[in-house]
Structure 1
Amino acid sequence: MLTGKQKRHLRSLAHHLTPVFQVGKGGTNEQLVRHIEEAIEVRELMKISVLNNCVEDPKEIGAEVAEAAGAELVQVIGKTIVLYKRATDEKNRKIELPKAAK
């Protein structure tokens, strides 16, 4: 679980990113989730955009995709979802999160 300080840090890092995946009128499916899992392992932080023709709520899509991919939902703003997952491979780790206050 991410703290508020960690989420704020990740939001600032994600600000300049462009969305990697798009969710359209078909919604989410297993194939999309699999591709997100593979991409987030390398990137750690990514944006996903929800197209205007998608009938599902972006917040619901964000929660669903985050849970299925084993990632943390950082933010849903408008139709943009930001996800974070710490890379399991040491060489792919690029992001250093602020320490959680005790």
Structure 2
Amino acid sequence: MDNQQLKKLRTIAHQLRPILTIAGDGVTENIIKELNQALERHELIKIKIQLGDRELRQQVADELCLQSSAECVQRIGNVAVLYRAAKEPNPKLSNLLRHQ
């Protein structure tokens, strides 16, 4: 993605609330399942990563992107914004279509 697309996605994501929280157990099979469902429905989501230090949070964000084939649009503190285009976006659920 180019800088203009990333800026647009960050602008949309600014008003979103985290829909997935990663805590003590880290990345589990259920987390990946929920993440894939959320990305398929909403395309652009915020995730709260409540784990140790900065490096661990970055590793978890990278692992989530790898496991879900998503792109990390932004990561600030303990919040990451992930994007993956849906195969058939639903206009009522897709954060991209709702905020155009």
TM-score by shorter chain over 0.5: yes
5+ long unaligned stretches in structure 2? none
Sequence identity percentage: 28
Q: Report the TM-score, using the length of structure 2 for normalisation.
A: 0.83
1:66-88 Cα shifts (integer Å, max 9, x gaps):
11011111111010010001110
Instruction: Label 1:91 to 1:24 Cα distance change in 2 as closer, same or farther (>3 A).
Output: closer
Tell me the equivalent position of 2:45.
Answer: 46
- Structure with higher helix content: 2
Displacement after TM superposition at 1:34 (Å): 1.0
Q: Report the TM-score, using the length of structure 1 for normalisation.
A: 0.82
Displacement after TM superposition at 1:58 (Å): 1.7
For 1:63-82, list aligned pairs within 5 A: 63-82=62-81
| Alignment size in residue pairs | 93
5+ long unaligned stretches in structure 1? 97-102
Displacement after TM superposition at 1:10 (Å): 0.4
